[in-house]
Structure 1
Amino acid sequence: MKEVLKTIGFIAIFATFLFLLRQYVFTPVIVKGDSMDPTLHDGERVIALKQTDIEHFDIITFVAPDDSGKNYIKRVIGLPGDQVVYQDDMLYINGTAYDEPYLDDFKANLQDGFPLTDDFDMSLFDETEVPEGKLLVLGDNRRISKDSRQLGLIDASAVLGDVVFVFWPIADFGRLNE
């Protein structure tokens, strides 16, 4: 009887530990759709860390602002105070041009003469810069992604985690190369 109680106690402590980790440290996420191709693929399972500082180009998961009950996975392009401009398929943040190597595969395969990312600036959001408490996010598959260009700027409080690790399928297992 003593061994049974020890086993039950161990299982309860272990379950509590796992619950707390899941609640406060990480969350598993399933990628749905092709908006993050080629970085993430439909059906992949990833781990998002909670309680992390969000930086430019991090891939985050967040509660959709359109009350659809969905969670989205997108790349952070603009942080509070940033002036973001896309011109001639080039990203400018606060006047500085940034390469986006994660888009190179798509850009190399474009055959139609149109840019991967259409031109836009902060006037799209009736702002001059990303306001405090907001983020500008884009999917890597820019032509089909439902992101800040359609949804508007995202509330930073809606962020569920910073996607850092792919655990399924096994062929893609490992740290996410952003």
Structure 2
Amino acid sequence: MGKEDYEDWGEYEDYPEELVEMEEEVRIPEWMPEDCQEEIARIKDPEVRRDQIEREEKVHQDREELNRRYEAGEINDFDFWRKNEVLGHKEAGLSTRRGLRSEGLDYADFGELSEELGIMVKGDPDLIDINDRVNKFVKEDPEYAEEVADRMYEKGELSESSYEFISEKVDRYKKKP
């Protein structure tokens, strides 16, 4: 049900404002399955939403072009199969990216969650505590966290693995939008 449906009923003021803004900014393609449309609709940042839709449209167009070329006899079965598999991988990547983005996450967050899961699986309480403190420290001031880690590593107060652990967290945090 779109904005125009509410206008016809005289209930436009009840139409959710974020959906009005989204409809004006960018349209979610109707060819997308409903679950994909719903995930994209949950992406709050308009630039991220637009980027996701552009990526989805590119792969969709590539798939349509591949099918057209195959049906026209322009490519053989082997090339069709090979290119179809590549598109399948791209679609799987888009699905993962779409799912993360719909929850306000990105691949860096996914890496962080995987890392934290690995720490919990190991069951080392000190490592869990250190991870929490490093996360807090990095979020408060990533530049300073990096400087402190550099100094401690140079003085031999920090192991190489701990130094890399902190450096990776700082890098991931800096890459976040």
Give the number of the structure whose residues are more often helix, by fraction.
2
In the superposition, the TM-score normalised over structure 2's length comes to: 0.23
TM-score (norm 1): 0.23
Higher relative contact order, chain-length normalized (CA < 8 Å, sep 6+): 1
